[in-house]
Amino acid sequence: MKTNDLLKAIENLKTRSQWDKGVKDYAYEIVEYVLSDYANIDADGAKEILLNGADSWVQYSYGGLSLIYDKGIAERLCTPSELKKATRKDGTLKDMANSRENWIECQARALNQAYNKIMNILREGK
């Protein structure tokens, strides 16, 4: 599939929640990041291309290939009310996104979901 067509298909994804909107944004950014190097991407070998040298989405996230600041990640993935709950009284963000993940790990989970959306589009050939 042509990379530009893949970006258009991602733009057309329907989202319902702030999390889904964030995942969609990650999907777009992942493809956009490799756009200059690849005119076409197919399902075979796509993961290696999209990971851009990282071994996993956790490494991609920790390696700084996506958002690097907790606040940016939280603003992308959280509703205003969730963001308020994640913010301390002094205005700083809590270190943990939830009881088991920090913000970078939360982003890695969203990146994995974004990758799955990309692969679904590639397999369907939209």
Angle (deg, nearest 10), helices 103-124 and 18-34: 70
Taking the C-alpha atoms of 25, 41, 118 and 83 in order, what is their torsion angle to the nearest 10 degrees? Answer: -20
- pLDDT attached to residue 17: 98
Residues 32-45 pLDDT 10s: 999 889 999 999 99
- What is this structure's pTM? 0.94
The single-letter DSSP state of residue 59 is H
Are the CB atoms for 73 and 107 separated by under 8 Å? yes
Q: Is a pLDDT exceeding 80 seen at residue 31?
A: yes
- Report the amino acid identity of residue 119: M
Residues 60-81 pLDDT 10s: 999 999 999 999 999 999 999 9
